[in-house]
Amino acid sequence: MGLDIVEYVMAVENAFEIAFDDADLSRIRTVGEFHQLALKEIRWKQPHRSAAGTPRTVCVSSRAFYRLRQALIKSGVANRNQVARKTSLESLIPRHHRRAIWDELAHSMRCALPRLERPDLLCGVLVLVSALAVLCLTAVGAMRSDADWTLWLVLAGVGLPVLSFLLSKPRAIEFHRNCRTVEGLVEWLVMKQRPRFAESDREWSDREVWETICHLLVEMQGLKPEQIRPEATFVDDLGMD
């Protein structure tokens, strides 16, 4: 897709809070086909019920994915085509700016994200060093039989792990083990932050969807309303690339 079409697709996604599949978009040629695809995604996004009458969670998952993808694009770390459900977060968010980008994503999505973790090796080293320090103090305290040393030992046993935790915070750049892909993070968001992604009550009619699609074409591409017909092709008739 050319830049004009990509920007237009993102504007439509933003208007209806949906996320198109790239495979579906690649088959679209006319405005009418795009209208039908938008209707399909909007209907799927709206609350559905199973045969048993219980709400499905797919609509919440779709909205979480949409907002995450928009936040990633806004942060500048990825473009629309790079963000798919199976995409590794490691490939999207560079390690040297990860903490800042992670905070930016949380702010953009207006929700909490899972905490970045320290590498397993670093955690092991910190535990080992703290344990050795406490053992040394214990040995010295046993030799001295000094009540003051007992107090220092208690303080060290509590203070060393806390100090190690605070000093190593900048090294917490690993993703949660269940959130290492876009799909994993979406599942975490649905489970932990579900109220943030609750569906809106608005239901779009076919006519409203068509009018919105046409309005965005007129506004973004400078087209005349009479040029936009269901059979009009984006490339040949509307001149979009």
What is the per-residue pLDDT for 55? 45
> Residue holding tokens 């709400």?
55
- Our CA dihedral for 56, 61, 62, 68, rounded to 10 degrees, sits at 170
Tokens of 26: 């690649």
Q: Per residue in 212-230, pLDDT tens? A: 999 999 988 888 999 999 9
Averaged pLDDT, 65-83 = 85
Q: Per residue in 11-52, pLDDT tens? A: 898 888 788 888 889 899 999 999 999 998 888 765 544 444
160: enclosing H helix or E strand:
helix 147-167
Nearest to 24 by CA among 42, 41, 43: 41
What distances in angstroms separate CA 58 from CA 9, 43, 44, 69, 160, one per listed residue?
Answer: 22, 12, 8, 16, 46
- Cα-atom radius of gyration of the chain, to the nearest Å? 26
CA atoms 81, 84, 86, 88: torsion sign: positive
Q: What is the DSSP letter of 197?
A: G
Averaged pLDDT, 90-96 = 91
The mean pLDDT value of the chain amounts to: 81
* pLDDT over 70 (residue 149): no
Averaged pLDDT, 156-181 = 79
